[in-house]
Structure 1
Amino acid sequence: MKALVEHIVKALVDQPDLVQVEAVEEGKNLTLRLTVHPDDMGKVIGKQGRTIKAIRSVVYAATPSQKVRLDIVD
């Protein structure tokens, strides 16, 4: 799952080398913490949050048996 998020986000940003995804598993829950360069934050979030909502939809669809949360870290 971590690799999927990295692949999607790296295609969107200007500085793909600074994209980091940290995965934290807590039982059946998986939390993905996404870190990008501050200048790329708007590209990942998108207008009215549409881009990040689309990324979250893909992540949720890829893991139907596990509860996944995707957070963007400042």
Structure 2
Amino acid sequence: MTDFKTLIKTIVAPLVEYPEAIRIEKNETDRFYEFQLFVDSKDVGRVIGKQGHVAQAIRTIVYSVRVQGPKRVRLVINDSAK
């Protein structure tokens, strides 16, 4: 399977001011491979973009990667760093 964590980090790192704060967690359910993206609270706006255009572009790239089997990929951008 494609390394989605590396893919997401490669896309997001140039966009943010604090790339060391990027954290990605993977959760697997019956229907999805869900990746949760955490960035520094000051970088959330950069990742989401005006009217969500940047976030939608990131999701389009991530969702376009083929996955074996019936599961789909989902990217959740958390708007608060933990």
**Which letter does structure 2 place at the counterpart of 1:35?**
F
- Gap regions ≥5 residues in structure 1: none
TM-fit CA distance, 1:53? 0.1
> Where do 4+ consecutive residues of structure 1 move more than 4 Å?
none
Correspondence for 2:49 among 41, 46, 49: 46
- Tell me the distance in 1 between the aligned counterparts of 2:37 and 2:65: 17
Question: More strand per residue: 1 or 2?
Answer: 1
TM-fit CA distance, 1:64? 5.0
Within a 5 Å distance, the mapping from 1:1-74 to structure 2 comes to 1-63=4-66, 65=68, 66-73=71-78, 74=80
> Structure 2 length normalisation: TM-score?
0.82
- Tell me the distance in 1 between the aligned counterparts of 2:42 and 2:74: 23
Question: More helix per residue: 1 or 2?
Answer: 1
Q: Percent identity?
A: 38
TM-fit CA distance, 1:63? 2.7
- Gap regions ≥5 residues in structure 2: none
Q: Give RMSD over aligned pairs.
A: 1.3
**Which letter does structure 2 place at the counterpart of 1:69?**
R
Select between 59-68 and 6-15 the one with higher mean Cα deviation: 59-68
Aligned residues: 74
